[in-house]
């Protein structure tokens, strides 16, 4: 199956019975969440990349929001990255990523829900035409809360001594911070302000699923620059 993105004119690639398919875009951080979970759990799957500027009608049929990721298996279709990721973790119990204790699960979800604030400033900074002081300040203030959450836990991962769902849900945007920092110097994430978070980034770099799914910083920069120019290079290198 091709990695190249499917567009308006592409015929629907037939499903294989019993095989998981993820509709994705190679640089989408949300799709990366679900791909990380699948890799962590060693679950075989196929990827259908979508040209998000020219979406096929069969893609819209599967998600009226027109967004990736979408999970599909036989007659099951699920979208939204957190929901797809939770579903995979529940339906395939090996290498469980979610704590069985409901209180702990709730605490982890609080951290995941803390992150959209950081992410919204990340997009303003990395993709904005002009970057305001407020965006930089907002980014740092939101990230301070994440640093505090990690310091309060006192563990190498948000999820404890080993990587958990909470870590994998935060990671994809953080992977892009280095690109953001190179594009906008004032948005750097200094180790003296974020010591625990800096160490967490290092720890995440040792996780096999992260190594498998990640892009390097020059590739992220290329994607951001082409997206800002209105022509996102979905198929770079293919
Ligand atoms: N809340 C969604 C967000 C997914 C999302 O925004 N995906 C982007 C790509 S990174 C997308 O498909 N956007 C549709 C578009 O660009 O038209 C989730 O968590 O799955």
- Domains observed in the chain: 20-96 (3.40.30.10), 102-206 (1.20.1050.10)
pTM comes to 0.98
- Residue 17 to residue 113: CA distance in whole angstroms: 35
Pick the catalytic residue from 22, 28, 125, 150.
28
- For residue 27, how far is its CA from the centre of ligand 1 (angstroms)? 11
Please indicate whether residue 116, judged by its CB atom, sits closer than 6 Å to ligand 1.
no
* Residues in Cβ contact with 122 at an 8 Å cutoff, skipping those fewer than 6 apart: 139, 173, 176, 177, 180
- Residue 35 to residue 2: CA distance in whole angstroms: 17
* pLDDT tens by residue, the chain, 238 residues: 899 999 999 999 999 999 999 999 999 999 999 999 999 999 999 999 999 999 999 999 999 999 999 999 999 999 999 999 999 999 999 999 999 999 999 999 999 999 999 999 999 999 998 999 999 999 999 999 999 999 999 999 999 999 999 999 999 999 999 999 999 998 999 999 999 999 999 999 999 999 999 999 999 999 999 999 999 999 999 9
Which regions of 108-147 does DSSP assign to beta strands (E)?
A: none
Q: For residue 84, indicate whether it is catalytic.
A: no
Please indicate whether residue 22, judged by its CB atom, sits closer than 6 Å to ligand 1.
no
- Residue 151 to residue 202: CA distance in whole angstroms: 15
- Residue 30 to residue 28: CA distance in whole angstroms: 5
Edge-to-edge strand list for the sheet holding 20-24: 45-49, 20-24, 70-73, 76-79
Please indicate whether residue 169, judged by its CB atom, sits closer than 6 Å to ligand 1.
no
From the alpha carbon of 80, which atom of ligand 1 is closest?
20
pLDDT value at residue 1: 82
């Amino acid at each position: 199956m091709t990695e190249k993105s499917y567009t308006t004119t592409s015929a629907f690639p037939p499903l294989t019975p019993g095989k998981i398919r993820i509709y994705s875009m190679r640089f989408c951080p949300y799709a990366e969440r679900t791909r990380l979970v699948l890799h962590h759990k060693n679950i075989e799957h196929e990827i259908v990349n979508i040209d998000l500027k020219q979406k096929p009608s069969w893609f819209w049929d599967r998600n009226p929001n027109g967004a990736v990721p979408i999970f599909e298996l036989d007659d099951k279709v699920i979208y939204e990255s957190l929901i797809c990721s939770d579903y995979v973790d529940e339906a395939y119990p090996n290498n469980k990523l979610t704590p069985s204790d409901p209180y702990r699960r709730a605490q982890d979800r609080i951290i995941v829900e803390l992150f959209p604030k950081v992410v919204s400033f990340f997009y303003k900074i990395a993709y904005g035409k002009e970057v305001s002081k407020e965006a930089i300040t907002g980014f740092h203030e939101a990230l301070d809360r994440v640093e505090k959450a990690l310091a309060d836990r006192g563990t190498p991962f948000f999820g404890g001594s080993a990587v958990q769902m909470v870590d994998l849900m935060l990671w994809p945007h953080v992977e892009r911070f280095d690109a953001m920092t190179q594009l906008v110097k004032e948005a750097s994430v200094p180790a003296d302000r974020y010591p625990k978070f800096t160490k967490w980034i290092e720890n995440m770099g040792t996780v096999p699923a992260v190594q498998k799914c990640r892009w390097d910083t020059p590739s992220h920069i290329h994607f951001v620059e082409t997206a800002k120019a209105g022509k996102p290079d979905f198929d770079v290198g293919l």
